Each structure stands twice: as structure tokens, then as C-alpha cells.
Amino acid sequence: MEFTLLAAAAIGAFGVYLALRFEARRGNAADCTKNLWDVAMGAMVAGLVVGRVAAMVADGVSPLANPGDIVIVRAGVATGPASLAALAWVAWVGRTELLLVADGLAAAALAGLGGWHAGCLVRDACLGTTSDLPWTFAQPGSTISRHPVELYAALLFGLGAVVIARSKTKRPIPGVPAGLALVLAGTVRLITEPYRPSLAGGPVGWYLAAVAGGLIIIAWSRARATAPA
């Protein structure tokens, strides 16, 4: 049996924890009454469960007949359904102060995604398309070097988390950090997708939707902030 999915999730959770601890010293979401760590962990669990079930159904595996496969990795996690489930959890739990909660989690969410992708090291799933660049490497027993695409994604998500955390020290318009996080999340996946084994097989539409949704949130937040009282 294989439980490396849970190990990767734990690394992602650690990324969330570090980001929230770092920002707490800078007054992250100071007016928010929700426990951001609890909200983030609920979103992570919701995303993992829904994403795993969706991946199982897509592969013709019944979750009811094979409940153990929800935690035993056989086909990964469906990105789109997992993301929607996580966002739905945040929207429901933080509905009374949604912008504060979303902005408070913006940097931590990217840090968590970075940790999740870095978890490829324990899952032995870091490599993508072939390359002879000096930093690429091969699977044990193979002579073909490949891009460590998941590590590229982990690094870019980490940089995105830093960018958002620093931008929040300047008290941005409410909603802008959350929108920027969506834009960065979709952009990072679009940038790294061509280095995965098959661009055609990736859920590119979900990544484009994240970018578009983030831009809409940013535009709406700015318009809301500048509208006459």
C-alpha cells in the first residue's frame, strides 16, 4: 500500500503553517475573527477527498466499493474538483467576512501548493519531459534526464507566496491579494504544464479559469474600493 499522498499533503500543510506564522508577526488579517489555520486545514481535507474521489470516478473505480483508495494513492488527485472543493469550503466557513479570510489565506495557500508540489520528492514523481540541461536528472535505473517540473512549480509557488505576503504589508485593497493568488496559481501551472509529459492531458482549462477568475476579483475589488459612498 502507498500513503505518499498523505506525506505530500503534510508537506503542503507545513507550508501553510510557515506562511501563517510568518505573516502573523505582520498583522495578517488582523480584523479577521476566523482561525485561518483551521479554515486552511478544512479546505485542504475537502480538496483532497473530493479530488481523490473525482480521480477515482474518472478511472472507473468506485469510491463506495473501494473506500481505502481515497487515501491509498493509485491515480492522484483531480486538480479542478479539488480546487473547487477547497474554495467552496473557504467560502462557506468564511462567509460572514469572506474578503478578510480569503486575503488572510492568499499567501498561505500558495505556500501550501508549493509544499504539495515539493512532496513529489517523497512520491518519486518530480520529473517531466526529457531535457539535457545541467540541472535535470534521471529516474533511478534510467539514463534519460528529465525536467524536475514539480520542483519548478514548488519554487514558483513559494516565490508567489512571498510576493503576496510582502504586498499585504502595504495594506492593499481588500480582495486584491486573494485575486492575485488565483492569478498566480493558474499562471504557475500554465507555465509548468508544457514540461509535464503531456500538455494535451492536463486540465489547462481549469488554470485559465483561475487566472480569469482572479483578474475579475481584482477588477471588482478595485471598482468597489473607488465607487462613491
Mind listing the pLDDT tens digit for each residue in 175-187?
999 999 999 999 9
77: nearest Cα among 102, 108, 62, 56? 56
Mean pLDDT of the chain: 87
- The pLDDT of residue 28 is 61
- The pLDDT of residue 168 is 85
- CA dihedral of residues 28, 33, 34, 35 (deg, nearest 10): 60
Task: Tell me the whole-structure pTM to 2 decimals.
Answer: 0.88
Look at residue 130 and tell me whether its pLDDT is greater than 50: yes
C-alpha cell at 143: 539514463
C-alpha cell at 174: 481588500
- Which band of pLDDT confidence, cut at 50, 70 and 90, is reported for residue 70? low
- The pLDDT of residue 1 is 39
